[in-house]
Amino acid sequence: MKTSQSFGIHFTIKNDKVKDGKAPTYACITVNRKRSYLALPTVRG
């Protein structure tokens, strides 16, 4: 039996939640069709 695995990362910017000119960024990590979302920290500078 042959097995296959998949992996992917997609980055998303939520333009509808802009605050002080900065929009939150999220990463969607997919492993074998199971998704997990991470909110990435906002860079302050």
**Where does the pLDDT of residue 45 fall: very low under 50, low under 70, confident under 90, or very high at 90 and above?**
low
**Where does the pLDDT of residue 44 fall: very low under 50, low under 70, confident under 90, or very high at 90 and above?**
low
Residues 6+ apart with CB under 8 A from 37: 26, 27, 28, 29
pLDDT, average across residues 29-43:
91
Q: What confidence score (pLDDT) does residue 26 get?
A: 95
User: CA-to-CA distance for 2 and 13, rounded, in angstroms?
Assistant: 37
Q: What is the pLDDT of residues 7-29, one digit of tens each?
A: 999 999 999 988 888 889 999 99
Long-range contacts of 20-23 (CB under 8 A, 24+ apart): none
